[in-house]
A = this chain, B = another copy of it.
Amino acid sequence: MQPKGDRTVTDTPAPKRRRDAQATRARILKAAVVEFARHGFAGARGDRVAVRARSSERMVYYYFGSKGGLFRAALESVYTALRDAERSVRLDPNDPMKALHQFCRFVWSYYADHPEFISLLNTENLHQARHLRKSGVLGELVSPVVGMLSQMLADGERAGVFRRGIDPIELYVSIAGLGYFCLSNRHTLSMVLGRDVAAPAALHRYWDEAARMVVQYVSADDSPPIDGKTAAASRLLPDRL
């Protein structure tokens, strides 16, 4: 159903129609990202997408087949964008602590700069990653950041600045969570706490503290953080999932 490119080897300048078509498709996709980010999957409206893309509802179906297809495409597009950004991050290879710091900043500002990414993720999680599961691009999506963190942790250990035994995935989830939550839940937090935790200034102050948290966590100088008894006691809390 999608007009899959079947251009031959001869590199004649692309016919105008073709370029327009691609441009239309791109406009629709961009509009879809905005629409899904604003209204979620069920709340998104085809006609609003069409208007925003300066196209017609009919074209949306022409290019993407269905609402689900459009959402999948939108999701893939924001994931691809994230991965491109991740790949272009340059972490200081000689100073693991500085690299960690850079990593945190990258993740956190990416979230801050891409609210549509956060919203699409939330929506996709509401749907239990149904669309992602169907995505063919998924294979390529496995995040490069885990590899990056592993490398960084290994470097740091070797250099004696990081302690050993840190799980890169857990570290990644911690870092992401520290940055994600106050942006994702900005509106309810503002209501409940009576203060906008995602206002630019507040955010930067918060990031400084969060960075401190992460850095101390990985640092070599380990005082045993929790005495056994306390940990055991807290485990007695019901852990129903």
Residues of A within 8 A of B (CB): 39-43, 95, 97-98, 101-102, 104-106, 109, 112-113, 119, 121-126, 128-129, 132-133, 138, 141-143, 146, 167, 169-170, 172-174, 176-182, 184-195, 197-198, 200, 203-206, 208-217, 219, 221, 223, 225-226, 230-231, 233-235, 237-241
Contact = CB atoms under 8 A, between A and B. Distances in A.
A180 B124 CA distance: 16
Contact of A124 (B188, B221, B238): B188
Contacts of A178: 174, 177-178
Q: Which 6 A-B pairs have the closest CB atoms?
A: A177-B181, A42-B43, A129-B187, A212-B225, A42-B42, A105-B234
A213 B212 contact: no
A127 to B, nearest CB: 8
B211 A113 contact: no
Number of copies: 4
Contacts of A141: 191-192
B239 A209 contact: no
B129 A188 contact: yes
Contacts of A39: 42, 126
Given A122-B126, A174-B213, A216-B217, 8 more contacts: A101-B234, A106-B237, A170-B206, A170-B209, A200-B241, A209-B217, A215-B225, A217-B217
9 contacts: A112-B240, A132-B191, A133-B191, A169-B197, A173-B193, A174-B210, A180-B185, A208-B231, A216-B225
Nearest to A218: B213
A126 B132 contact: no
Contacts of A104: 234
